[in-house]
Structure 1
Amino acid sequence: MRFTLVLLCVLAVAFRGPDKPAYRLYTQNLKSTTYAKLLRQATEADVVFFGELHNDPICHWLELQLTKDLQAAKKGNLVLGAEMFEADNQVALSDYVQGKTTAKELATKARLWPNFDTDYKPIADFAREQHISFVATNVPRRYARLVSRQGLSALDTVSAEAKQQMAPLPLTVDLTLPGYKAMMDMMSQPSPGGSSTSPGSATATTNLHGATSDMTANFARAQAIKDATMAYFIRQNLKPGQTLLHFNGDYHSKNFEGIVWYLRQQQPNGNERPLKILTLSSVEVSDIDKPGSENRNLADFVLAIPADMTKTY
């Protein structure tokens, strides 16, 4: 009888197989770590960048969990910000979060990404329930598109009101930064066929592979006006003692570049201490237990997700 029970237990383990976790967390040096450590360090940070993959459900679920847990830990000293909302839609977003309007009214007053209902509305609804300020940090897409087509000098022609919806001008763009340089190198290569865009993309509306150097440089500058604007509105809306949790595409904060670079450039002189910034980079890998050396040093935390994870769109 005892032998039979032991055999049944062994067979049960054999048929069940190993667990299949939906993600793994790693440190910057790819040492395995835990969500508890991520939360603790995020609680101590001034700004937390969650670099997401726009169509990945694990990213969106973990963003919501981190929002909830940070709200509990910060006891009300939490602010949210997101690439997915543009500065000229701040009133519409604030009205919704403050309970003044309905989701239907928000959809008519703001330019929402097509995946808003499934991926970002749960966070906005939690902010609404908990009375958390939510900052629309991104530059209005029409100005990013203007830069991608005509260069930064085109912003000299926009109105004073429009300039209040972006980082202060003139804007310095360092095209030698690895992220921007890699983008230009990619765009200058012959097209492999087809093009890919994010749901709220302001600039990647055409296939720019094989483009001229001026076109690729302007495309990178369009990304830079986004990065600089997001950094600017993060700093404008952050008060001492608060943590601002920012959601953005992984490109905009990985390798500690993009928004992070501009945020550090905008650090005021004087006795104010440097901001404590924490970054998370999301990557898809074939084996989440073996993230690969190419994912080292992407961020303070690396979120490894199975490459065959289902997508939200």
Structure 2
Amino acid sequence: MKRNTVVCRLVGTLFMGLLLSAGCALHKPLMKPATVKVQGSEAAFRAGEIIDLETGASVDFEAMMGILQEKDLVFLGEVHSDPEHHLMQVQILQRWAEDQPHPVIAMEFFQVTQQDALDRFLAGDLGEAAFLEAAQWDAEWGFPYHYYRPLLDLIRAKRGRILAINAPRGIVKKVARSGIESLSPEERAQIASEIDFNREAHREYVQAVFPLHPGHGGTIDFERFYQAQCIWEDTMAENIARFKLENPGIRIAVFAGSGHLRYGFGIPERTLERSPATAAVVLPYPAEPDLVLDRDLADFIWLSRSARGASGRHPGHPSTGHAGGLSWKP
């Protein structure tokens, strides 16, 4: 009851009525056409349902959380521009952090250079406005802060830790335009010490979305674009793994764009290679007509309502320019 009350209060803060019609009912299936299926199964699912992809069956929120609570690492995806995905993340974090006095989360949305501002904010040395200015939120991330505020406020209230894990954006942009060989020794030292550009399945996935990305055919070519993606993902993985190794037994919830998590590509497998651990991936995912989900896409899929734009495509669907979270900005 307490958790549901908090979620209801956050709805107004997060979305200013956008999801008011849904209220606190995201734990229950929304009444949508049952059009979503899982590969190899005839069962059909609708928006609001949580799917365990290993079994191909619908599970309730508490069943999913029972599994997530046993993992060392929980990777939570999002389409950055989808408010419903952020509400799902809030509910998961609230439940996941209930039994932890000082929970630790890692966020793609902050670069390592912003860690000091984050620490000062969590310690109470900076108010919200001063924190956003110090972190240069609008310039460095740009998506509405109120989507993320409940996550930060929850960790702050529990005196937890937020890890800024992303590579400096300026370095990633430079690589996307000029290649990793263009980095100075000082710049190279700010990204992962080991970067793997030779993962064929990952390369194919990124290549499939590259033509729809800003800058395609103009300021960047695919090889440099792919280098930038790997730098992002290996740097985030290295920062998570380093913290895990330095703090044995610590559980971490990782928040990142779904494109960095799908199929275990990107952050999850690169983290686990550096620091073996039990892990699970949860992806909010738009319930599109006739969608068939691959079983190896994630561990759990939480179906959101379709949020199709004028193009008829979901803003974070793999067939769009956002590429489900591969969010390089030219």
TM bucket normalised to smaller: 0.7 to 0.9
Superimposed CA distance per residue, residues 143-164 of structure 1 (whole angstroms, 9 cap, x where no aligned partner): 1111111112223x141xx455
State the alpha-carbon separation in 2 of the partners of residues 183 and 53 from structure 1: 16
Contact 1:167 1:232 in 2 (8 A): yes
Q: What residue is the counterpart of 2:256 in the other structure?
A: 248
Q: Which runs of 5+ in 1 are unaligned?
A: 1-17, 190-194, 196-203, 268-273
Q: What residue is the counterpart of 2:117 in the other structure?
A: 92
Q: Which runs of 4+ in 1 moved over 6 A?
A: 309-313
Letter in 1 for 2:298: A
Q: What residue is the counterpart of 2:300 in the other structure?
A: 301
Aligned mate of 1:111, from 121, 136, 141: 136
Aligned mate of 2:161, from 127, 133, 136: 133
Aligned mate of 1:280, from 279, 282, 289: 282
Which runs of structure 2 are paired with 1:22-37 in the superposition (5 Å)? 23-29=48-54, 30-37=56-63
Q: What residue is the counterpart of 1:236 in the other structure?
A: 242
Q: Within the alignment, does 1:168 sit opposite 2:193 as a pair?
A: yes
State the alpha-carbon separation in 1 of the partners of residues 174 and 302 from structure 2: 34
Contact 2:283 2:300 in 1 (8 A): yes
- Partner SS, residue 226 of structure 1: helix
Larger RCO, structure (CA 8 Å, separation 6 or more): 1
Distance change in 2, residues 1:19/1:64 (3 Å): closer
Distance change in 2, residues 1:102/1:163 (3 Å): farther
State the alpha-carbon separation in 2 of the partners of residues 94 and 245 from structure 1: 17
State the alpha-carbon separation in 2 of the partners of residues 147 and 76 from structure 1: 40
Contact 1:87 1:140 in 2 (8 A): yes
Q: What residue is the counterpart of 2:229 in the other structure?
A: 223
TM-score scaled to structure 1, two decimals?
0.76
Q: Within the alignment, does 1:82 sit opposite 2:81 as a pair?
A: no
- Partner SS, residue 44 of structure 1: coil
State the alpha-carbon separation in 1 of the partners of residues 263 and 315 from structure 2: 25
Q: What residue is the counterpart of 2:151 in the other structure?
A: 123
Superimposed CA distance per residue, residues 206-254 of structure 1 (whole angstroms, 9 cap, x where no aligned partner): 330x469x81011011011110011111112222222100110001011
Aligned pair count reads 264
Residue identity (%): 23
Letter in 2 for 1:217: E
How far 1:86 moved relative to its partner? 0.5
Q: What residue is the counterpart of 1:143 in the other structure?
A: 171
Q: What residue is the counterpart of 1:183 in the other structure?
A: 206
Letter in 1 for 2:300: F
Distance change in 2, residues 1:264/1:19 (3 Å): closer
State the alpha-carbon separation in 2 of the partners of residues 89 and 31 from structure 1: 41
How far 1:20 moved relative to its partner? 2.6
Superimposed CA distance per residue, residues 106-133 of structure 1 (whole angstroms, 9 cap, x where no aligned partner): 1111132333422111111111111110
The 10-residue stretch of structure 1 (86-95 or 49-58) with the greater mean CA deviation from structure 2: 49-58
**Superposition RMSD on alpha carbons, in Å?**
2.6
State the alpha-carbon separation in 2 of the partners of residues 305 and 256 from structure 1: 21
Contact 1:147 1:222 in 2 (8 A): yes
State the alpha-carbon separation in 2 of the partners of residues 151 and 259 from structure 1: 21
How far 1:134 moved relative to its partner? 0.2
Q: Which runs of 5+ in 2 are unaligned?
A: 1-28, 33-46, 317-330
Superimposed CA distance per residue, residues 259-304 of structure 1 (whole angstroms, 9 cap, x where no aligned partner): 112113323xxxxxx31111012221235xx7x3334321010121
State the alpha-carbon separation in 2 of the partners of residues 125 and 263 from structure 1: 26
State the structure with more CA Rg.
1
Distance change in 2, residues 1:233/1:92 (3 Å): same
Q: What residue is the counterpart of 1:201 in the other structure?
A: none
